[in-house]
Structure 1
């Protein structure tokens, strides 16, 4: 018994003259490029580690600054310590707060590395980094004014320069102020990086 074959003929239709054939085109969107954002996030994390070192060094050096002159009598002792000046006390407290914030901000910085397009953590870091710029700059500026007076004095106010006698004390507080300004500069870089990462194409 022979099998019957069925053939279906499809007639080719030609497009009408003057009309272009309808063609469906699908444009595939390129995946978002997260490479440069991830690079910024990694650089942000490294800068935070550097800022932790600078802020901790500033607080530790200033908090341990103390010098007693070798010549003293039974009733008088010449001593210089950071807690004798409110500006230096504010400096230590401010840098301790900044150091604690930087340690707490590290997990959020890691989140921005894993998820470069996450807006929430980056915006949160931007806000708090801006606050820490103000706090660090204020503490460093206040301490720098006292260090300037310790080095040069003020003849108009009869304030005598003490760095000729308390050389080690002035050297340590000057180093602490420099470290605080380094931390403030790093914070400015962090704010700029966060603003760049939040910028839309």
Structure 2
């Protein structure tokens, strides 16, 4: 017994505590959980940012079509080369209330789209913000019936201008005012494109909010 105790004293072995290895083993399973949690967040953010980029591009396209429709209709005027002593044949857009409403509605939609661009940029930079996206969704929804109503009312007048109405003895004025009818027809097409873009914007905003 004395010899064994003496050998242990001379060897000078120091017992190694096992707590460090146990704590490292216990803490090691926590690392994959944190990495998995962080790995799940970037795809959602990238999707929201992608929807924001699509929203911004669509708004620029809608600005072009809305302002083009308002400008084309607002500058439409044609005067025929022949006239009589009492009548001068001339067609202006403001002769018809439907065309006047068309210009006001598309110009209002274009102005709103310009003002909405900073909020669309905010949705790209900060994709998790709900307030800006919700505001765009509300105003886009209001713009859809406004632009659609203006385009539909103008389309009805353009149809009568091209075809007339024999029951009401309305002649087709596009046979004489061909330039006038071409410009207003192009403006109506651009307005319907604007309305379609607004519908897509509503869908994009709804999809972005649903991801929240």
**Which TM-score band applies after superposition, normalised by the shorter structure?**
0.7 to 0.9
Partner secondary structure for residue 157 of structure 1: coil
In the alignment, structure 2 segments of 5+ residues that lack a partner are 1-11, 20-24
Partner secondary structure for residue 116 of structure 1: coil
Partner secondary structure for residue 160 of structure 1: coil
Match of 2:5 in 1: none
Match of 1:191 in 2: 202
1:62 paired residue among 64, 73, 97: 73
1:23–1:84: structure 2 CA closer, same or farther, 3 Å change rule? Answer: same
Q: Post-superposition shift, 1:91? A: 0.1
With normalisation by structure 2, the TM-score equals 0.83
Match of 1:151 in 2: 162
Match of 1:160 in 2: 171
Match of 2:150 in 1: 139
In the alignment, structure 1 segments of 5+ residues that lack a partner are 13-21
Q: Post-superposition shift, 1:200? A: 3.1
Is 1:79 aligned to 2:77, yes or no? no
Please, what is the CA RMSD of the aligned residues?
Answer: 1.9
Q: Post-superposition shift, 1:10? A: 4.4
Q: Residues of 1 paired with 2:203 and 2:152: CA distance?
A: 22
Per-residue Cα deviation, 1:153-186 (whole angstroms, up to 9, x for no partner):
1111111110001000000000000000010111
Q: Which has the higher helix share?
A: 2
Per-residue Cα deviation, 1:1-59 (whole angstroms, up to 9, x for no partner):
xxxx89566478xxxxxxxxx95653221351211111111111011000000000000
Match of 1:107 in 2: 118
Q: Residues of 2 paired with 1:200 and 1:87: CA distance?
A: 41
Q: Residues of 1 paired with 2:74 and 2:173: CA distance?
A: 19
Alignment of 1:87-126 (within 5 A): 87-126=98-137
Q: Residues of 2 paired with 1:178 and 1:196: CA distance?
A: 27
